[in-house]
Structure 1
Amino acid sequence: MSFKDLQLNRPILRAVAEKGYDNPTLVQEKTIPLILENKDVIVSAQTGTGKTAAFALPILQRLYDKQDAPKKGKKIRALIVSPTRELAIQINENFEAYATYTNLKTTVVFGGASLEPQKDILKKGVDILIATPGRLLDLHKQDSINLDYIETLVLDEADLMLDMGFIDDVRKIERLCPNDKQTLLFSATIPFKVQDLAKTILKDPKRVEVAQNSSTSKNVDQALYYVPKPKKIELCLHLLRNTIKGRIIIFRRTKYGVDKLEKTLLKNGYKANSIHGDKSQSERQEALNSFKKKEFNILIATDVAARGIDISNLDAVINFDIPNVPETYVHRIGRTARAGNTGGAFSFCSADEKDYVVNIQKLIHLQLDVIEDHPYPLDPKAKPVVHKKQGSKHRKGRKSEGSKKKKKRWY
C-alpha cells in the first residue's frame, strides 16, 4: 500500500515524500482511514511504529478545507495532549513538516518555559495545538486558549500520562472540549486504567492493535549480565571499551544515578550528556539536539525524560538499572533497531533485580541471553543487600547510664 491509497491530498503527499517515507507503516495503514471517517479510535502500538504520522496526516487532511482563516482569525480545531515536553516538541516538529504545503498553523505549549511568548502565538491564531496537560490548563484559566471549536482531541502516550498522575487533568481537558468531537487515544500498552479512561471518554471506538503489546523487535540482540551492584560502573566502562560502540542511550532509575554515571564517564574521557526531570527544559532540549547532531555519542537518561523521543540510528541501549515495570523494558529497547536497522540491548542485573528479569521474560516470551564471560560476575548465591536502619542500642523509654549520671535532679 502507498500513501496515495489512503486518500491523502497532494500537498500532504508531497510533504510525506520529502520526509523520505515511501509506504505507510502498519499502524498508519490501519488508523488513517478510520480517522478520516471521523471514528473514535484507541490505538495500541509501541514507540517507533510511526504513531505520530498516523494521527497527524488525517488531522491535516480533515482541516485542509478550513485552512484559510476567516477575518476573526484561526480557531484551535485539533488538540494533541502529550505527557512530556520533549514529546510535545517532537510532535509539533512532525506536524510542521507534514503541513509545509498547507496554510495550517501549529504550535506547542509546555511548562518550564515562559508564558508570554506562548500567549502571543496563541493570540495570532492556530489550527492545531500540541500541549502538556498542566500548561494547557494554566493557559485556559487565563483565557488564552479557547477549546470550544475542537473537532479532534488526541491523547498520546496515554499510559505514561496516567502513570505520571495526569488522570484528573486529562478528564478536565476532555470536558472542556465540545461533546461532538472525535477522540483518538494512543498508548504503547493498554492497562486497566487506560481501558477505564477510554470507556468514559470515547464513543464506540475502533480498536487498532499493532503487534503484541509485549513484542520486542527481532532486530535487537538482547544480552543480560549478572553483576554485583557496586561493579555496574566497572562493567559499563569495560563494555564501552571493548564491546559497545556507536550512539548509545544508558537508562538509570534515578536522577542522582544519572548524574553520578555522567560524571564517571566524563572523567574517563567519554563524550556523554544527560537528561532528567531536574534539568530545565532548555538544557534537556539542548542535550537532545546535540545528541541528534552527533556532538556526543552517549546519552544517559531516566525513563520519563526519554519516553517517546525519536532518535534514529541508535546503536545500543544499556539498561544500567533493570526497570521494575516490565513494559518499560520494551519501551527502552524499542529505541534501537528502528526502521529495519539492527541494534543491541545490554542489561545489568544485580541480586535484587532478578525478579524484574523474570517478569520481563514472561512479558516478552523470550529468554534473554546471559553473558557469563565478563570480569565482574555475580555470585549465584548472592542475596539482595538489605539496608537495615540503625536503631538505638537502648530499649525505648530507658535512659542510658551515662545520661542518668549527667542529669542533675531537681529533687
Structure 2
Amino acid sequence: MTKFSDLGLSEPILHALTNKGYDTPTPIQAQAIPPLLQGRDLCGIAQTGTGKTAAFALPSLMRLTDSGRNRPPGGCRMLVLSPTRELASQIAESFRDYGRQLKLTVATVFGGVPIGRQIKQMQQGVDILVATPGRLLDLIDQRALRLANVEIFVLDEADQMLDLGFIHALKRIDKLLPAKRQSLFFSATMPKTIAELGDRFLTDPVKVSVVPPSTTAERVDQFVTFVNQAEKQALLTLTLQAEPIDRALVFTRTKHGADRVVKNLQAAGIGCAAIHGNKSQPQRTTALQAFRSGEIKILVATDIAARGIDVSGVSHVFNYELPNVPEQYVHRIGRTARAGATGKAISFVDGEEKQWLKQIERLTRVALTPMPLPEGFDIAKARLPKPVLAKPTAQRRHEDSRGRGDQPRRDGAPGGDRPKRAFGRRKPGGVGAHKGAVRKTGGSGAAR
C-alpha cells in the first residue's frame, strides 16, 4: 500500500502529515501528487470528502519551496479560486496546516469583509492566495493585486466555477495570468460540457478520475419520503426529534426558506442556525463555528454550504427541498460519510420535485429507498408548536411611535425584508442552467 513517504514529498511536509495522523494517501492523492510534483497540468475528479485539497496542496507547497522565488509585492505565487467563502477559508487553513514548517505565507480574500484590510495585506505580497472570483477582481480593479507572477493556478470545484455564473469572471482572470504556469482543476463532478470548456485552460493535462463522475458516497444510506410541501416542516421537526443525530445539515433551495425552517425548529425547542447568502460574514462564521463545536447540532443552509462545509461528525443530511441541479445533490450528501464514516441522507419530495428526483437517480445511478411517513404523523403534526412571527420592521416602528400597527409604510409597501430576485433557475428536464442563488463572491478525507 502506498504511503505519503513513497510519493517524494519533503520531510517538513511529511512531518506535518504525521502530526495530523495522516499516513496513507487517498486514491486521488496517490494518483495526483506524482505528476503535480513534475509540474504537469491536471484535471482531477473524485468524490467530495476524498482529500482533493491535500492532493493539490501538498505538491504545490513543495514546488513553491523548491523554486526559491520571493513573493512578489502586490501579487502572489499561487492562486486558488473557490466558489464560496467557507470553502476558501478551509482551503487556506489546510495550506497553513501542511506548510506549518515552511516559510510560506497564506492569505484569503472574499466578500463580506472590509476590502481595505485585504488591500493592505496584498501590498507585501503573499505566496499562496485563496480567493473567490468577485473579490479577487475587485482587488485587481483597484490596482491592489497583480497576477503576473502566478506560478500555480488551481480551480477547486471546477464544475461550479466554470458554470455560467462564473465563466465570464474566470475568462477575465485567465487573461491576467501568465501563459507559463501550472494549472490544476479539481472537482467531485465534471459534466462533459463543462470538462470540454475546462480544456481551454489546461495544457496537455493528466486526467485522474478515481470514481465515475457524479457518483455518490458509497457509505451514505439514501432515503426518500414523498410528502406534500406544506407538511415538510412538520416531518423535519418530528424526524429530528426521533432520529439519533450527531450533527445534521438541512438543505433548502432558498434563503428565506432556510430562515423559515429555523424559526419552526426553534419553536419546537430544537437548537439550530441558518447559513446563506443574505447572512453577513460574521453571522455565517458564528453559525459555522457553533455547528463545528457542537453548540448546535442542526445547521440549515442553501447550496452555498453544499461545497463549503467540512465538519466531522455530520451523521445526517436532509434535503428539505431537492436541488433543481442534480449535481448539487452529490455535493450536498457528500457533507456526511466523511473520512471513512457512514452517513444517512433523507430527501423530502413533493409532486413537483419527482422529475428532479428522476434526474438525480439517473445521474448517480442510485435508486433512493422509500421511507414512509412516521406512524401517527397527522396527530403528532397537530401538536407541534407554531413559531412566534416577528412583526415587520415598519409595523414595529409605527407601534413604537403611535401605539398601533396598522399604518402602511409611506411608500405603500408592507415593510420587512423583500426577497431578492432569483435568476437562472432550472426547470425539471432543463440542461446546462446554473443555480443563481450561489453568488460569485462567495471537504475532507484522510487528508483534505
TM-score range, shorter chain: 0.7 to 0.9
Structure 1 residues not aligned, in runs of 5+: 379-411
Match of 2:66?
65
Quick one: distance in 2 between partners of 1:285 and 1:115? 17
Q: Distance in 2 between matches of 1:337 and 1:305?
A: 16
2:47–2:217 Cα contact (<8 Å) kept: no
Paired amino acid for 2:65: Y
1:67–1:102 CA contact under 8 A, matched in 2: no
Distance in 1, matches of 2:359 and 2:196, equals 24
Q: Which residue of 2 aligns with 1:50?
A: 51
- Corresponding residue of 1:248: 248
Separation in 2, partners of 1:357, 1:35: 38
1:81 aligned partner, one-letter code: L
Question: 2:361 maps to what in 1?
Answer: 361
Q: CA RMSD in A?
A: 1.9
2:148 is the alignment partner of 1:148:
yes
Aligned residue for 1:23, secondary structure, equals coil
Residue in 2 that maps onto 1:349: 349
Q: Gaps (5+ residues) in structure 2? A: 379-448
Question: Could you tell me whether the CA contact under 8 Å between 1:84 and 1:132 is conserved in 2?
Answer: yes
> Which structure's relative contact order is higher, taking Cα pairs within 8 Å and 6+ residues apart?
2
Q: In the TM superposition, what is the alpha-carbon distance from 1:304 to its structure 2 partner?
A: 2.2
Cα pair distance change 1:368/1:6, threshold 3 Å: same
3-state DSSP of counterpart to 2:162: helix
Distance 1:140 1:37, change over 3 A: same
What is the alpha-carbon distance in structure 1 between the residues aligned to residue 89 and residue 164 of structure 2? 18
Instruction: Tell me the alpha carbon deviations over residues 188-226 of structure 1, each in whole angstroms, 9 at most, x when there is no partner.
Output: 221244223322121111111121112222221111111
- Distance, in Å, in 2 between the alignment partners of 1:373 and 1:147 is 55
Matched with 1:322 is 322
- Matched residue, 2:275: 275
Aligned residue number for residue 33 of structure 1 = 34
- What is aligned with 2:160? 160
Q: Provide the secondary structure at the position in 2 that maps to 1:307.
A: coil
Residues 79 and 128 in structure 1, CA contact (< 8 A), matched pair in contact too: yes
Q: Which aligned pairs between 1:125-136 and structure 2 lie closer than 5 A?
A: 125-136=125-136
Deviation at 1:74, TM superposition (A): 9.0
Q: Does 1:18 align with 2:39?
A: no
> Is the contact between residue 314 and residue 336 of structure 1 (CA under 8 Å) also seen in structure 2?
yes
Judged with a 3 Å threshold, the aligned counterparts in structure 2 of structure 1 residues 278 and 74 are, in CA distance, closer, same or farther, namely closer
User: Offset of 1:242 from its aligned partner?
Assistant: 1.4
Which residue is 1:186 aligned to?
186
Number of residue pairs the alignment of both structures matches: 377
| Cα 1:199/1:162, change in 2 over 3 Å | closer
Q: Single out whichever of 369-378 and 102-111 deviates more from structure 2.
A: 369-378
Q: Distance in 1 between matches of 2:255 and 2:244?
A: 23
In the TM superposition, structure 1's runs of 4+ consecutive aligned residues that sit over 4 Å from their partners are 72-75, 375-378
Equivalent position SS for 2:165: coil
Q: Relative to 1, partners in 2 of residues 1:23 and 1:74: Cα closer, same or farther, differing over 3 Å?
A: farther
Contact 1:227 1:376 in 2 (8 A): no
Q: What SS does structure 2 have at the residue aligned with 1:341?
A: coil
Q: Partner amino acid for 1:24?
A: P
Q: CA deviation at 1:376?
A: 7.8
Provide the TM-score with structure 1 as the length reference.
Answer: 0.88
Structure 1's 172 and 233: CA in aligned 2 closer, same or farther, altered over 3 A? same
**Structure 1 residue aligned with 2:409:** none
1:350 & 1:53 partners in 2: Cα distance? 39
Q: Give the partner amino acid of 1:204.
A: D
95-104 or 360-369, larger mean C-alpha shift? 360-369
- 1:223 counterpart residue number: 223
Give the distance between the partners of 1:55 and 1:168, measured in 2 at CA: 24
Aligned partner letter, 1:29: A
Shift of 1:27: 0.5
Q: Distance in 2 between matches of 1:108 and 1:315?
A: 30
- 3-state SS, counterpart of residue 78 of structure 1: strand
Measure how far apart 1:293 and its partner are. Answer: 0.8
- Distance apart, 1:50 and its partner CA: 0.4
- CA shift digits 1:280-309 (9 cap, x unpaired): 112111111111011100000001244232
Q: Is the 8 A contact 1:67 1:103 kept in 2?
A: no
* Distance in 1 between residues matched to 2:225 and 2:142, nearest whole Å: 52
In structure 1, the residue corresponding to 2:225 is in which secondary structure? Answer: strand
Is the 8 Å Cα contact of residues 68 and 103 (structure 1) preserved in structure 2? no
Q: Which amino acid aligns with 1:263?
A: K
% identical aligned pairs: 46
In structure 1, how many angstroms separate the alpha carbons of the residues matched to 2:134 and 2:190?
23
How far apart, in 2, do the equivalents of 1:40 and 1:258 lie? 40
Contact map agreement 1:111 1:134 (CA 8 A) in 2: yes
User: Secondary structure in 2 aligned to 1:77?
Assistant: strand
